[in-house]
């Protein structure tokens, strides 16, 4: 492999797939196609087990990954019994329970909590009322996305960052070295589960009463389930109606909460499943580390609405993001690639992709890659998120996708790929982009 260590940054392209230009990255995404990795994951003490880990195993978990340095269940139904698509059926038709304790909860509390949070996120924290939350992003000084948590405001002086897959606590603590802000920043003993699916509200009514029906999207409610103190938010990672239940003193109470939910859920057809990436792709929900990372700008991944023009105060990354926005306003595009949605030919992709599968133009030149492909039963086709050159990102653009042999229609031949609108199908709670589009406005304004 060519040594690119000392190659000028503006001349660099990925050494494995040179035509997929990633010269605007310091550490290009690894496009080497390694295929599946049929190895056993070592369970050791250096990777944390959540309070729900043994309960997931008891519920049939047969495979896992590592997320936020914790073991993360990624499959309950065996392939011979329908696999991930059987889990999908339970999600879209009934109700499901997910162990998402890997979403570590980092609490920022103190007199300057609002000012601190407003400084580290790109959107306006002052507009978040107590007992409400917002989806938020945090960027570094170059405008790269460090994390995209659900941000919960429990009180005037208390926020919880419900993290995606990057350890943000050290960053937050580092930002406040020297105590610029009068806050305490620490992980707390709170672990969430998600209850997702069209029957999720009815299930929670049976657990906490009719008050849950009055909780708005991104609203919070204090309650008890199985004698355990919880915070419930109407949020989730699926695009379906759903809630997250944040268990206080989770190391002590995990079993009581889990069995209470499973017991009440039996009459609703509750199924324990893994986080539904097949459904979140259809909803256009992004996964940090897969669809974006610390070298990705929000303007590349349809998150421009997270960088409001009207936020007047300073925040980390503001200068870089405003330069990027100015370039786009002037008709330019300061990045090599843009994230788009697309439909794909080929046989149904019914499991996680182990690689960033490659995209080529109609002449066969490799120009981009897929980040999140899956089969959509409702649309009857494969769908995906992926990166392409800006000039090839228009709706209707035709490409080719190099899928593994198992998914190809003809041996060794790429399948058709067509860039399309995102989301692929309606969500229970339309995103800011969906609402803007329906109103005839530019969601990026």
Please state, in angstroms and rounded to a whole number, the distance separating the CA atoms of residues 196 and 277: 13
Query: For the chain, how are helix, strand and coil distributed in percent, rounded to 5?
Result: 25, 25, 50
Please state, in angstroms and rounded to a whole number, the distance separating the CA atoms of residues 15 and 356: 15
- Calculate the alpha carbon distances from 248 to 97, 144, 225, 253 in Å: 18, 32, 11, 8
Q: 93: Cβ–Cβ under 8 A, 6 or more apart, which residues?
A: 197, 198
Is residue 218 within 8 A of residue 134, CB to CB? The reply is: yes
Is residue 400 within 8 A of residue 408, CB to CB? The reply is: no
Is residue 299 within 8 A of residue 390, CB to CB? The reply is: no
Instruction: Round the CA-based radius of gyration of the chain to a whole number and report it.
Output: 22
Across 32-82, the runs of DSSP E, i.e. the strands, are: 63-67, 70-75
CB atoms near residue 170 (< 10 Å): 11
Is residue 88 within 8 A of residue 279, CB to CB? The reply is: yes
Please state, in angstroms and rounded to a whole number, the distance separating the CA atoms of residues 335 and 337: 6
User: What DSSP string describes 76-101?
Assistant: -S-GGGTHHHHHHHHHHHS-EEEE-T
Scan for tokens 């405001």, then name that residue: 153
CB atoms near residue 387 (< 10 Å): 26
Which two tokens mark 378?
A: 């409702």
Say whether 187 counts as a known binding-site residue: no
User: What DSSP string describes 132-185?
Assistant: EEEE--EE-TTS-EEE-PEEEEEETTEEEEE--SS--HHHHHHHTTT-SS--EE
CB atoms near residue 359 (< 10 Å): 27
Sheet of 158-162: strand order equals 132-135, 150-155, 158-162, 105-109, 184-187
Is residue 344 within 8 A of residue 353, CB to CB? The reply is: no
CB atoms near residue 33 (< 10 Å): 15
The annotated binding site for substrate is made up of 244
The annotated binding site is made up of 244
């Amino acid at each position: 492999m060519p040594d690119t260590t000392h190659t000028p940054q503006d001349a660099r392209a990925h050494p494995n797939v040179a035509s997929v230009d990633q010269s605007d990255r310091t550490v290009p995404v690894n496009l080497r196609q390694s295929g599946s990795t049929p190895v056993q994951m070592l369970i050791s003490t250096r990777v944390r087990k959540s309070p729900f880990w043994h309960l997931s195993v008891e519920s049939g978990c047969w495979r896992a990954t590592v997320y936020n340095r914790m073991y993360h269940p990624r499959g309950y139904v065996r392939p011979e019994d329908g696999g991930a698509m059987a889990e999908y059926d339970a999600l879209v038709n009934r109700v499901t329970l997910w162990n998402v304790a890997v979403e570590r909860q980092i609490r920022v509390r103190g007199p300057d909590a609002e000012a601190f949070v407003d400084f580290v996120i790109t959107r306006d924290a002052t507009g978040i009322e107590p007992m409400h939350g917002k989806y938020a992003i945090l960027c570094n000084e170059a405008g790269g996305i460090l994390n995209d948590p659900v941000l919960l405001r429990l009180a005037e002086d208390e926020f919880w960052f419900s993290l995606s897959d990057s350890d943000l606590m050290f960053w937050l603590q580092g930002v406040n070295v020297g105590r610029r802000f009068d806050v305490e920043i620490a992980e707390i003993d709170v672990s969430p589960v998600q209850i997702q699916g069209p029957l999720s509200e009815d299930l929670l009514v049976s657990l906490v009463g009719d008050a849950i029906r009055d909780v708005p999207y991104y609203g919070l409610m204090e309650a008890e389930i199985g004698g355990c103190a919880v915070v419930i938010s109407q949020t989730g990672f699926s695009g379906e109606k759903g809630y997250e239940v944040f268990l206080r003193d989770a190391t002590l109470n995990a079993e009581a909460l889990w069995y209470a939910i499973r017991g009440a859920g039996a009459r609703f057809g509750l199924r324990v499943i893994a986080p539904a990436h097949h459904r979140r792709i259809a909803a256009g929900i992004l996964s940090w580390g897969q669809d974006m990372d610390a070298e990705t700008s929000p303007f590349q991944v349809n998150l421009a609405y997270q960088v409001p023009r009207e936020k007047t105060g300073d925040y980390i990354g503001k200068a870089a993001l405003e330069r990027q926005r100015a370039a786009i306003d002037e008709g330019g595009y300061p990045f090599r690639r843009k994230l788009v949605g697309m439909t794909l030919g080929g046989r149904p992709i019914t499991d996680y992709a182990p690689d960033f599968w490659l995209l080529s133009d109609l002449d066969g030149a490799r120009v981009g890659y897929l980040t999140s492909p899956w089969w959509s039963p409702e649309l009857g086709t494969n769908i995906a998120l992926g990166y392409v050159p800006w000039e090839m990102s228009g709706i209707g653009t035709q490409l080719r996708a190099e899928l593994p042999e198992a998914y190809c229609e003809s041996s060794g031949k790429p399948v058709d790929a067509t860039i399309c609108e995102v989301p692929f199908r309606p969500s229970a709670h339309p995103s800011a982009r969906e609402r803007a589009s329906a109103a005839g406005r530019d969601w990026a304004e």
